[in-house]
Structure 1
Amino acid sequence: MDIERKDPSYPYSAGGWGSLKAVTRILFQEKVPLKDVTLLLRQNKPDGFMCVSCSWAKPADPHTFEFCENGAKATAWDLTAKRITPEFFNDHTVTELLGWHDHDLEEAGRITHPLRYDAATDRYLPVSWQDAFDDIARELRATEPNRTVFYTSGRASLETSYMFQLFARMYGTNNLPDSSNMCHESTSVGLKAAIGVGVGTVRLEDFEKTDLMFFFGQNVGTNSPRMLHPLQDARKRGVPIITFNPLREPGLIGFTNPQSPVEMLKPGDTQISTQYHQLRTGGDTAAILGICKHVIDADDRARVQGEARIVDIDFIHEHTVGFDAFADYVRAANWDEIESVSGLSRADLAEAASEYMRAKAVIIHYGMGLTQHRMGVQNVRMVVNLLLLRGNIGKLGAGPSPIRGHSNVQGQRTVGITEKPELAPLDKLADQFSFEPPRDTGMNIVDACEAMLDDKVDVVLSLGGNLARSVPDHLRMESAWKRLRMTVGITTKLNRSHLIHGRAAYILPCLSRIEIDRQASGEQAVSTEDSTGCMHGSHGVAEPASPDLRSEPFIVAGLAKATLSASTGSVDWDSWRDDYSRVRAEIAETYPEIFHDFEARMWNPGGFARPLKARERKWATESGKAEFLTPETLGEDPDMPERGPDALRLMTLRSDSQFNTTIYNLDDRFRGVKGSRMVVLMNRGDMEHRNLREGDHVTLETIADDGVTRRVQGLSVKIHDIPQGCIAGYYPECNPLLPLWHHAKQSKVPAGKSIPVRIVEQVRTL
């Protein structure tokens, strides 16, 4: 397939000079001292710190510059010379700050002191650490545990996460929602049911053995740029890469390695995708079904003709269940429906299937473009179906590869951050720490938001993140957030969640993972898990932004000690605060199969891998085998159908200058957007049909029958290469359009990649 390499929005490859300029710009913008710039050389290194941005794998033999543009931005964001001292709030009330842009709030700098909201002056005022702990503890003790939410953002270390979940359970609740609930919970549910483990099975060594890679709904150039290095190596070996994505993304088209002087100085780049299929938003199940249909049709012909089978029938018989029902469903599937729903032709899908049938080892990478749909769990199961057809799980160079987001979002789940009691080792924790954990199911993100709307939550304690800004139905949730009795934010910077606060509110500023953490027993290290299931140690290397900051473990220990009675459990919180190796020893006792010899192995180059039974073709499923799933439907959203010829399908996305809700600047160079995020990307035909031209402003309204009007105004229209009937806008600016109840079946992941909307107002620009 001949891929058009140039895009008028950004006619360059990912990486290259554009990446170097962006890194230089952020370092100057944040006024990072020259001595701290050199600390980037220790990013993702065994003797340094693990990146605070994405969770992509850390190689055993790292590059000299083992960081990407996004990682450098995240590091500069934490190493900034800018500060928010108590004097900042002398100059700015909370009401005034609510009018600031999200970017400007975080851009104001690192918070230096613990703060308590004062309603009389509408300001945050300094408070001592012990007074903050005591005040928060007093409110927690006065609150019913199941009316308290302990939220985790995905950036906290393994040690902090373990302490946090133990604190919550000793307090009496399993209300432990986290950022996974909003992104890869569909993976956790789908893979667990299909192959017995809720994480991907691919590791870095598999890149060296694979024959073919697929991408579904994952923009590597923006979300995990370091991954471009092993992709480039694979392409140089001749490995085909087939991409399915509604938008043409530069990082999935071409890459110039900014660490290579030769590549930087010569024209051209490495072509990443060998096939690029712009499917209709939400058409993933249909597209995968089309590939499976070509494979099974070819296998049927081979069987009739007495030729070698196309499917791995020995693997299927020995290791799977449900194949016959799935194969019958595939045979009966109608090509007209497959083409209509996927937006791709039968010939397009045949081209992808031909490569798949030739390959002996196949990896399928995917991201939130697959998981954030009403049928997100089914999408994940369809990925597994395709892999199982030819035995592509449990062998080198093959398997499902969900690309996770925040730096320890997978790891915090590994050490107990979950609202599902069946996924936590509660009996072990009870025996280990002499207490009785709660056994009821806690709240996930959607549950917690629904409870807030119904005034059934009193306290939200956030370990990082910007929860009030990131959730669906943002405008409805703001009023609920303000009715809370107390909000507590453990954070490095100011964000909107601290300003849309409860009646009592505290900001507890913490050290960044990049900073040196000095405790009573000496300098401390922490650990994280990357998206390939490998654990890594991390040493802080920079001086703290303020002597008044405390580490995340220190803060959690202080809150737990102040809140819990002396008779609750057998944890010596002070000793854990002073020496994190004691926390790691307890983690190893709770999870010996994963964390045995934790203290020594955390410094292994490349980390140490958690055991995954599915890599050995051992299936911890209900049937004891890998399970095919027969799809429920081809359509993305059977419960919220599009209505009328003017309906559009909105997907929310992130820019190249963004990580989650953190916005480094307002430009998105990959999409040709400058100076604003209030933009909607549209197909030229859709614009002409509505008599729109580039730069016109529109108001989008959600199509729903729940009696709630959801609108976002002032969106500037921009022509983009996206399938007709589909549009795209930025997250979290478009969150008000996403109904809280519009989430993935089974996993409750908000379905932000497919929101039915219409244009209700148009304003012509001059």
Structure 2
Amino acid sequence: MKEDDKNPKQPNPENPYKTLDLKLTKVKDWAAGIPAVQASISDLIEDKTVARGGKALFKMNQMGGFDCPSCAWPDPDDERSPLGEYCENGVKALAEEATTKKVTPEFFKENSVYALSQLTDYEIGKKGRLTDPLYLPKNGTHYEAISWDAAFQKIADSLNELDSPNEAIFYTSGRTSNEASFLYQLFAKEFGTNNMPDCSNMCHETSGTALRPTIGIGKGTVKLEDFYDTDLIVIIGQNPGTNAPRMMSALEKGKKNGAKIIAINPLPEAGLMGFKNPQEIKGIIGNPVKLADLYLPVKINGDMALLKALEMLLLDYEKKNPGKILDQQFIHEKTTGFEAYLKQFDNYNFDQFVEESGVPKEAIQQAAEMLAFKNRIIVCWGMGITQQHNGVDLVKEILNILLLKGSIGKAGAGVCPVRGHSNVQGNRTMLIDEKPTQEQLDRLQNYFGFNPPREKGYDVVHAIKAMHNEKAKVLFCMGGNFLSATPDTTYTTEALRKLNLTVSVSTKLNRTHLIHGKESLILPTLSRSDMDIVNGELQIITTENSMGVVQDSKGVLKAVSDNLINETQIVCRMAMATLGDKSVVDWNKYHNDYDAVRDAIEQCIPGFENYNVRARQKGGFYLPNAARDGKFNTKQFGDRVPFTLTTTPVNQLAADEYLMATTRTHDQFNTTIYGLDDRYRGIKNERRVIFMNEKDIEKEGFKNGDKVDLFNYDDGIERIAPLFIIVAYPIPEKNTVTYFPETNVLVSVNNVVKESNMPASKYVKIKIKKHEESIYERIKS
């Protein structure tokens, strides 16, 4: 043990404040191709799993294989590429799962929590797979091995000592299977709380909040095959080249069949411009396929002005071409509120919208022409929309355009929120939700025989505040990296440290294990690619993709440790230890039989009839989606979809203020950092960068490559992200982009999306000042 490790020190809540040797390379105007193949191979080599991981790749996303642990983009319903139905990000995710590197109890004897906190998130994540349950005692400096029985007893004691079940919080990441998710929420409810925040609260809560009361379902309405046969695809606030690379194959296929594509984003992203399909010979040696026919460089939060400008032009075209632009029959038969919607345009100024959007008038007119004379339109969006402070209104305004065109509820048309984590949509279907409906709770009560709590629980933002105000005492994290995923890092760190106990179910080490409650447990679990053997039989689990397909997943790799437990059994053993004889649920049955879990799901959640049979069908099955079939059903509007009246925000900035949006590099997935490059944006070996417009750099007296400190002053609090390097980039003036989690510290816990209460990480007001070494003392104070 090192001398410094003998006394407890507060671990670093953030990545170390240090810059590396930044190298700027050529910004790409196309994605994938040979570089993607090379990067994939290098990751397998780095994680020492070329043979083991390479073998597993041929089973990833294949029928009868296992579901990719990365994004939730759907697999083709019919044929799947024999070369590999995966992307570069999928290979990176698998490499870290299949790695032969291990983090054993001996590792923690040699490394204190404080020493590990001095590492970057990238270095922490590359240590390898966790092999044994670990415990950090009160005032302890090192994690130590603990038996599974002792770990579950500690959890049970901590939960049963609470004054109220609502002092416990049960967080969920998106990778958890349907079976484990269902049991997890069942345990929380039988324990007595709906405090079930999840990663949806930080990515697509906005989408569900907007869609559920308008079209009757909080999900997208398109299938993958709709991309192959459509007229127009609009991609707004999303970067498929990095966030959902397999989506580009669908875009390519749609282009070949005649579709046009409009890309809307503050940054010109390589994946929206061109694509070399690495699964085809011509994609490796040939020229890239041009994807976007039109790129609209919208300002941060200029989206609403842009959408309304497009609507004004569509309405004008309709006046000049009566009955040829708008789908008047659809509007008459399927919608409500059209007259009130039309009236708002009497007070609008087109030129003002153009200015507020930041998009040249000619480009907006060109986009409107593409929309006007197309009938089947798909609109895709990501967190560039959902993490704006007016994100719910933005989704509703997107829907308004589709309603004008009758472009929903028919083939080749509809809404497509592009989900992130592999089963984040399935988690919500399995009732991982802090606000379950009374109908959902009634079905659980009727089947299991206990009355679940009826009051709304905490979402992520409310959970952080509850921990900070000491209204919560225990945080259980089913996967994920809670600290690095959430906003307001300093505030969240203070909240976590006030807890009595933090528990993390994980496959690898992450920063949340180092920023903990008074006591902490790490429970290692199987990954998606690991063989899950129960009572001598290889099990299947199920997941739901972005388009509502439920399919089975079966691991193929021998686990790196014999002391790992699957998530389903972790939940069951926690339940048995905590609830004991008070429980009316047969947790032991579910512990030993996944089919029994699916039988229970079938009885409690509509759409899962004959679940065990259909889950094993080739390609799985689609869940019901009435809006996809043109049938809409909402409590307020019945079988009609409302046109929504929204307002256009006034984005006022002081002379020295900028708008900042956080994003991720091509070398990361959510909070998992695979490497230090952002190949498509020309960044190598660095993450602490801020992209700025050249005019802004010159105006501030800076130059490309200068080091600066970033400040936010929301709520009257000074938040500081020190030591960033300026990189000149084609981005609208007064707009900046940085990577998360490095700038999560600047996102106030109170800077949220209206209605959905999501962190508004794409709308952060900042000030930029020349870097000073004295800044570190201000941070400490």
TM range (shorter): over 0.9
CA distance in 2 between counterparts of 1:343 and 1:322 reads 30
Aligned to 1:740: 749
Q: Deviations over 1:409-452 (max 9, x none)?
A: 00010011001032761111011111110000000001101112
Confirm or deny: 8 A CA contact 2:131 2:564 kept in the other structure. Answer: yes
Q: Deviations over 1:653-693 (max 9, x none)?
A: 00001011000011111111122211101111110111211
Aligned residue among 210, 218, 222 for 1:198 = 218
Aligned residue among 658, 661, 664 for 1:654 = 664
Aligned to 1:355: 370
Q: Deviations over 1:547-594 (max 9, x none)?
A: 00010101111101111131322x221221111111011101112x31
Aligned residue among 42, 53, 62 for 1:36 = 53
Which structure 2 residues correspond to residues 402-481 of structure 1 after superposition, within 5 A?
Answer: 402-422=417-437, 425-481=440-496
Deviation of residue 129 (structure 1)? 0.5
Aligned to 2:621: 608
CA distance in 2 between counterparts of 1:118 and 1:311 reads 65
Distance change >3 Å, CA 423–CA 330, structure 1 → 2: farther
Letter in 2 for 1:123: H
Confirm or deny: 8 A CA contact 2:228 2:251 kept in the other structure. Answer: no
CA distance in 2 between counterparts of 1:103 and 1:625 reads 50
1:342 aligns to 2:357 (yes or no): yes
Aligned residue among 153, 172, 182 for 1:152 = 172
Aligned to 2:389: 374
Deviation of residue 616 (structure 1)? 2.1
CA distance in 2 between counterparts of 1:625 and 1:327 reads 21
Q: Secondary structure at the match of 2:558?
A: coil
Aligned to 2:255: 235
User: Which stretch shows the higher mean deviation, 324-333 or 549-558?
Assistant: 324-333
Deviation of residue 261 (structure 1)? 1.4
Which structure 2 residues correspond to residues 40-55 of structure 1 after superposition, within 5 A?
Answer: 40-55=57-72
Aligned residue among 576, 587, 599 for 1:573 = 587
User: Which stretch shows the higher mean deviation, 336-345 or 76-85?
Assistant: 336-345
1:301 aligns to 2:316 (yes or no): no
Q: Secondary structure at the match of 1:9?
A: coil
1:261 aligns to 2:281 (yes or no): yes
Distance change >3 Å, CA 331–CA 232, structure 1 → 2: farther
Letter in 2 for 1:617: G
Q: Deviations over 1:474-523 (max 9, x none)?
A: 11211221110000000001111111011111000000011001111611
Aligned to 2:133: 114
Which structure 2 residues correspond to residues 308-327 of structure 1 after superposition, within 5 A?
Answer: 308-327=323-342
Deviation of residue 244 (structure 1)? 0.5
CA distance in 2 between counterparts of 1:358 and 1:729 reads 38
Deviation of residue 763 (structure 1)? 6.2
Letter in 2 for 1:411: G
1:584 aligns to 2:603 (yes or no): no
Q: Secondary structure at the match of 1:42?
A: coil
Q: Secondary structure at the match of 1:225?
A: coil
Aligned to 2:691: 681
Two-structure CA RMSD over aligned residues (Å): 1.5
Deviation of residue 468 (structure 1)? 1.5
Confirm or deny: 8 A CA contact 1:280 1:723 kept in the other structure. Answer: yes
1:618 aligns to 2:631 (yes or no): yes
Confirm or deny: 8 A CA contact 1:521 1:579 kept in the other structure. Answer: no
Aligned residue among 209, 233, 237 for 2:229 = 209
Confirm or deny: 8 A CA contact 2:30 2:270 kept in the other structure. Answer: yes
Confirm or deny: 8 A CA contact 1:585 1:598 kept in the other structure. Answer: yes
CA distance in 2 between counterparts of 1:243 and 1:202 reads 19
Letter in 2 for 1:30: D
Which structure 2 residues correspond to residues 676-755 of structure 1 after superposition, within 5 A?
Answer: 676-704=686-714, 706-755=715-764
Confirm or deny: 8 A CA contact 2:131 2:563 kept in the other structure. Answer: yes
Deviation of residue 120 (structure 1)? 5.3
Letter in 1 for 2:321: A
Q: Deviations over 1:259-289 (max 9, x none)?
A: 11123123x1100100011100111111111
Deviation of residue 642 (structure 1)? 3.6
CA distance in 1 between counterparts of 2:474 and 2:221 reads 37
CA distance in 2 between counterparts of 1:468 and 1:382 reads 33
Aligned residue among 190, 206, 225 for 1:186 = 206
CA distance in 2 between counterparts of 1:438 and 1:12 reads 52
Deviation of residue 366 (structure 1)? 0.6
Normalising by structure 1, we get a TM-score of 0.95
Letter in 2 for 1:687: I
Aligned to 1:494: 509
CA distance in 1 between counterparts of 2:52 and 2:188 reads 40
Confirm or deny: 8 A CA contact 1:601 1:607 kept in the other structure. Answer: yes
Please list every run of 5 or more consecutive structure 1 residues that lacks an aligned counterpart in the other structure.
1-6
Normalising by structure 2, we get a TM-score of 0.94
Percent identical residues: 39
Q: Deviations over 1:589-644 (max 9, x none)?
A: 112x3111111212333321111111222212111144344443212xx5xx5432
1:633 aligns to 2:633 (yes or no): no
Please list every run of 5 or more consecutive structure 2 residues that lacks an aligned counterpart in the other structure.
1-23, 774-781
CA distance in 2 between counterparts of 1:263 and 1:441 reads 50
Q: Secondary structure at the match of 2:690?
A: strand
Distance change >3 Å, CA 224–CA 332, structure 1 → 2: same
Q: Deviations over 1:309-346 (max 9, x none)?
A: 42111111111011111122134321132112211133
CA distance in 2 between counterparts of 1:573 and 1:598 reads 20
CA distance in 1 between counterparts of 2:28 and 2:449 reads 62
Letter in 2 for 1:58: D
